[in-house]
A and B are shown apart, each in its own frame.
Chain A
Amino acid sequence: MFTILRINTATGETVREQSHAKEYVLGARTLSSRLVSREVVPTCDPLGRQNKLFFCNGALSGTVVSSANRLSIGGKSPLTGGIKESNAGGIVGTRMAEQGLRCISLEDAPARNAGWKIVVIGKDGVEFVDGEFLAGKGVYEKSDLLSERFGRKAGCITIGPAAEKLLLASGIACSDPHGVCSRYAGRGGLGAVMASKQVIAMVIRADGEVKPDYVDPEVFKAGSRRIIQLLKENPVSSAFTKYGTAAMVDICQALNVLPARNFTHGYMEGAEKINAQTMYDTIKERGGEGLTQHACMHPCAIQCSNVYPDKEGKLLCSPVEYETMALMGSNLCLNNLDTIAEMNRIANDAGVDTLDCGAAIGVAMEAGLAEFGDDKAAIGFMEEVRSLTPLGRIIGSGCKVAAKVLGVRHAPHVLGQAIPAYEPRGTKGMAMTYLSSPMGADHTFGFTLRDEENPTTKEGKVGLSKKFQVIGSRMDAMGMCNFVRYSVRNDMSPLLDLIKYLYDVEISADEFDEMVKETLRLEHQFNSDAGITGLDHRFAETFYEEVQPETGEVMDITDEECAEARRW
């Protein structure tokens, strides 16, 4: 039996409901997107009382299985106007499992002058604690204050000052294994949704007593070891462990899809100064608190995360990921890892998405507010976000808003969400994925790049994107880290077997894939009901008119092809 804890943020009432349904078995995006589809009025104001915010852990959360503790957060996005599932690592999913929870739902909304609250969930029940002492503080300070009060082992979720002001690019920060709220469900503005309910933090105490009730513990442990073995057998996994996602810098540079100069180029001179090898060497040389290998959750056999230190060896930012290195680095013609890490740290503290803010700064530079390649100006933009100046609020609302305000046509987004770190004219598979995602431009939704024999042609890319939409969504569907797919490849049976050994529930591979596709159908239907049409699934017109110099390509994907990629 799986439990959803419903919390009315206006009245303080809480209700626990239980279900045996398979959507609850899988949890994660399978559950969050179904709950949003079923319970949120598609046309509602995302920052109003009719929106809900669902926090769902996954099928294998709280067990010994590697990389199984992603937390899916779902609701209607104020950034895209459509459905959103954004997920993060960290320990919150584990703490929920220990409390016997599959889902926590924040519902309704109090009056605007109600004051900030912290929702505290423990074995003895749910409390609303005064959260005014956190108001206006950065996420790092909030994180410290929450740890002081509730202990470092508590699973904390909080928002930054940007979310408190309802900025559209604000994310939700979750505790990492060290008790620091640095693992972000960054995309889609869900931080603003949490703020709209006057909830400044949510704490899941480390006093939960629920343990996995295995059907057969020994078989389960053997199955769990099999996942680790599969991960270790795959040579790609070891590259991930050593270099993390930063390895993509060289790959994208070689393919001419490393975004540069506000997505007008796919190549940056000097990219080797910010590549994986440079980052690895820098972290090793500086030593101190720096780590080239770091787990964002426990247990994890991949450990692709990192801790980037400053010149004195003190923690500057953790993690620094490829998408940020591109959007806050190459896209702004910055080739200094310290600058990128500093911008990333400020973004984490302000509580905003590094992709949407990086893209917005690119737009601001194109508008002439600063020169591309100006490190000080780039950091200055982020400080404006953290200080909530008028310009900072524009940047913190993402690149679509920034482009409108600043008079820039070349706005790199789909459905209002910034394009991730792959220049779409140079990779039509990724472009197809960006265009057809119900979440707005999203690389994890269907990562085609490594399987595109000819990235610049659109031929065959509807099918390729759809293939990877299913493959990518499988991991989200049950709360696994996306990179576990390197172990199981196209065979989900090792993971589905673990579900059987844990819950005595049989889900066949075909049934599982049908649930994944049904999730996609529901997400698109929600968007359609919310008023999003095929015309919204486009890039800015400039991508169709202006050639990307390195590939000689323009965007040539038609509305019909995009519609086919959204049809399930």
Chain B
Amino acid sequence: MVNFKLSEAGSVSLGIDGHIQLEEVLQRCATKAGLELGGYIAIRSRRVISSGTLIGNEDEIDVFPAISGG
């Protein structure tokens, strides 16, 4: 499950065989939601994960737009 926070896309579920990298998961979820994926911060279990992190079926990931304060 990928939760696109602060986005109209909301939550997107994806079935995965085994484990695949976060980058691919996000691209597939973004395509499914009709969303253009810009810079992002991805968080799993309150820890930041990177594009190469392996993701499984059981994972829930929060994705935030990579903005900054000002």
Contact = CB atoms under 8 A, between A and B. Distances in A.
A458 to B, nearest CB: 15
A257 to B, nearest CB: 11
Contacts of A323: 69-70
Among B36, B65, B70, which residue has the most Cβ atoms of chain A within 10 A? Answer: B70
Contacts of B69: 245, 248, 321-323, 420-422, 443-444, 447
A451 B41 CA distance: 8
Majority DSSP secondary structure for residues of A touching B: helix
Nearest to B30: A235
B67 A240 contact: yes
Given A245-B67, A247-B6, A304-B70, 12 more contacts: A235-B65, A236-B38, A240-B67, A242-B6, A254-B43, A322-B70, A421-B69, A449-B41, A450-B66, A450-B67, A453-B50, A481-B70
A236 B4 CA distance: 13
B43 to A, nearest CB: 5
B23 to A, nearest CB: 13
Contacts of A444: 69-70
Contacts of A277: 6
**What's the interface size class on B, roughly?**
20 to 34
B58 to A, nearest CB: 19
5 contacts: A235-B38, A236-B66, A251-B67, A255-B48, A450-B67
A369 interface: no
A452 interface: yes
A243 B6 contact: yes
A214 interface: no
A254 B65 CA distance: 13
A452 B48 contact: yes
Which 9 A-B pairs rank lowest in CB-CB distance, beginning with the nearest?
A235-B38, A239-B65, A450-B66, A453-B50, A447-B68, A236-B38, A322-B69, A254-B43, A251-B64
B5 interface: yes
Interface in A268-325: 276-277, 304, 321-323
Interface of B: 5-7, 35-39, 41, 43, 46, 48, 50, 62, 64-70
A248 B68 contact: yes
A174 to B, nearest CB: 16
A254 B62 contact: yes
Nearest to A250: B5
A467 to B, nearest CB: 14
Contacts of B62: 254
Contacts of A451: 66
Interface string A54-91: 00000000000000000000000000000000000000
Contacts of B65: 235-236, 239-240, 247
A483 interface: yes
B60 to A, nearest CB: 12
A453 B67 CA distance: 15
A487 to B, nearest CB: 12
Contacts of B5: 250
A235 B37 contact: yes
B70 A482 contact: yes
Contacts of A483: 68, 70
A250 B6 contact: yes
Contacts of B43: 254-255
Contacts of B46: 254-256, 550
Contact of B39 (A276, A422, A450): A450
B11 to A, nearest CB: 14
B70 A247 contact: no
A483 to B, nearest CB: 6
